[in-house]
């Protein structure tokens, strides 16, 4: 199977160029076009000979993704629905601007096998992993859309990154590599539902990526209601893996906590969560629940949010609150993709 042009190292590209009768200095030109100018089609690489342009298109997967739809929110957030040639499905990525920075939220899988009950991403199950090249193509399309690199990247889109860890690590090498996209490791965050083996593999790399764990409950009984999948690990095992991650990287892990009214926002829940955060030396990010189609959960009120955060802080936890972005534009991950799937389904005959 052909490999994506965007996941070919400069060393391997030089070998291919030499083997095919081209000058090896072209490798630097090609990489600059891709990762500095966000040009995905070799035919648009203007200082590359036509013969080489054609050879690259014939040998490698190039320019395989396209933006099916852009949905804009009133706060400037843009959600992109991206499809890949040869597939009847799509993924989402999001461009999130703020006063001081631009963040890209990227996906790692088409669909998700974890199936958290509050989340739209897993409602249609897992279709497949994205290749490293497809992950990078999302990044490059977003960069091309704003004609700039982001300040931060978060892998918090559709899919469970740690279940596609091999391809994710390859993509991360290109994203943070100084000869490629060159985004600092501390500006990259990987979010996981708590796949212990994936956390430990990432820890063993000893890199400075930020790790965020979608905990969403302070005890296993409640977490089982929120994440019913067999992929769910025990909280103790997850947090011990987080301790190892911190030991290997020096980075404090964030516990993500979707706050859902009448489910996980009680006084007792807050006390338990604060205790875990202190014991395992983690910080907490409170994320008010975004309403998802066909899910009966309720978003917390502003009073609910403030009260929960106050209890955490009074009990010694380090807490931040995620500001809602794109709230009027299918803000929750997976919603735009799900509506796209539904629109493609054949209509029932009357």
Strand partners, 126: 111
Alpha helices for 103-252 (secondary structure H): 132-146, 165-176, 196-204, 220-226, 235-249
What contacts 4, CB < 8 A, 6 or more positions away?
60, 61, 62, 64, 131, 132, 133, 134, 136, 137
Closest CA to 33 of 51, 16, 56: 56
DSSP state of 161: G
What are the strands, taking DSSP E only, across the chain? 65-72, 78-84, 90-97, 102-105, 109-111, 126-129, 152-155, 188-192, 210-214, 254-259, 283-288, 318-321
The kind and range of the H/E element at 34 are helix 26-35
Q: Which two tokens stand for residue 265?
A: 């926002």
Task: Tell me if residue 43 is catalytic.
Answer: no
What distance in Å separates the CA atoms of residue 64 and residue 78, rounded to the nearest whole number?
21
In angstroms, how far is CA 204 from the centroid of its own chain? 20
User: Taking a C-beta distance cutoff of 8 angstroms, is the pair 253, 246 a contact?
Assistant: yes
Q: Considering the candidates 7, 62, 78, 92, report the single residue annotated as catalytic.
A: 92
Task: Tell me if residue 92 is catalytic.
Answer: yes
Closest CA to 130 of 149, 148, 155: 155
User: Taking a C-beta distance cutoff of 8 angstroms, is the pair 250, 221 a contact?
Assistant: no
Q: Which two tokens stand for residue 204?
A: 């063993």
Question: Sign of torsion, CA 36 38 41 46?
Answer: negative
- Annotated active-site positions, please? 92, 333
């Amino acid at each position: 199977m052909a490999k994506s042009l965007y996941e070919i190292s400069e060393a391997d590209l030089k070998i291919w160029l030499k083997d095919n009768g081209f000058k090896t200095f072209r490798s630097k030109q090609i990489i600059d076009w891709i990762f500095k100018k966000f040009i995905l089609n070799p035919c648009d690489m203007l200082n590359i000979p036509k013969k080489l342009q054609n050879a690259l298109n014939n040998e490698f997967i190039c320019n395989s993704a396209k933006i099916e739809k852009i949905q804009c929110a009133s706060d400037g957030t843009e959600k992109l629905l991206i499809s890949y040639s040869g597939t009847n499905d799509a993924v989402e990525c999001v461009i999130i601007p703020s006063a001081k920075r631009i963040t890209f939220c990227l996906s790692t899988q088409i669909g998700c096998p974890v199936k958290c009950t509050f989340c739209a991403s897993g409602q249609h199950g897992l279709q497949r992993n994205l290749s490293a090249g497809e992950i990078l193509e999302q990044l490059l399309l977003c960069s091309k859309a704003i004609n700039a690199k982001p300040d931060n990247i978060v892998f918090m889109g559709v899919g469970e990154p740690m279940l596609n860890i091999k391809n994710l690590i390859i993509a991360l090498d290109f994203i943070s590599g100084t000869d490629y996209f060159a985004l600092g490791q501390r500006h990259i965050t990987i979010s996981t539902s708590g796949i212990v083996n994936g956390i430990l593999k990432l820890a063993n790399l000893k890199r400075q990526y930020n790790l965020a764990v979608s905990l969403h409950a302070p005890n296993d009984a409640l977490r089982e209601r929120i994440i019913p999948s067999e992929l769910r690990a025990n909280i103790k095992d997850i947090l011990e893996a987080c301790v190892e991650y911190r030991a290997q990287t020096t980075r404090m892990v964030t516990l993500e906590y979707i706050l859902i009214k009448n489910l996980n926002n009680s006084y007792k829940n807050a006390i338990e969560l604060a205790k875990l955060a202190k014991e395992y030396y983690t910080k907490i990010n409170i994320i008010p629940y975004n309403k998802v189609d066909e899910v009966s959960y309720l978003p917390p009120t502003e009073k609910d949010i403030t009260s929960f955060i106050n209890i955490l802080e009074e009990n010694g936890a380090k807490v931040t609150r995620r500001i809602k972005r794109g709230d009027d534009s299918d803000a929750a991950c997976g919603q735009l993709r799900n509506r796209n799937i539904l629109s493609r389904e054949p209509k029932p005959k009357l």
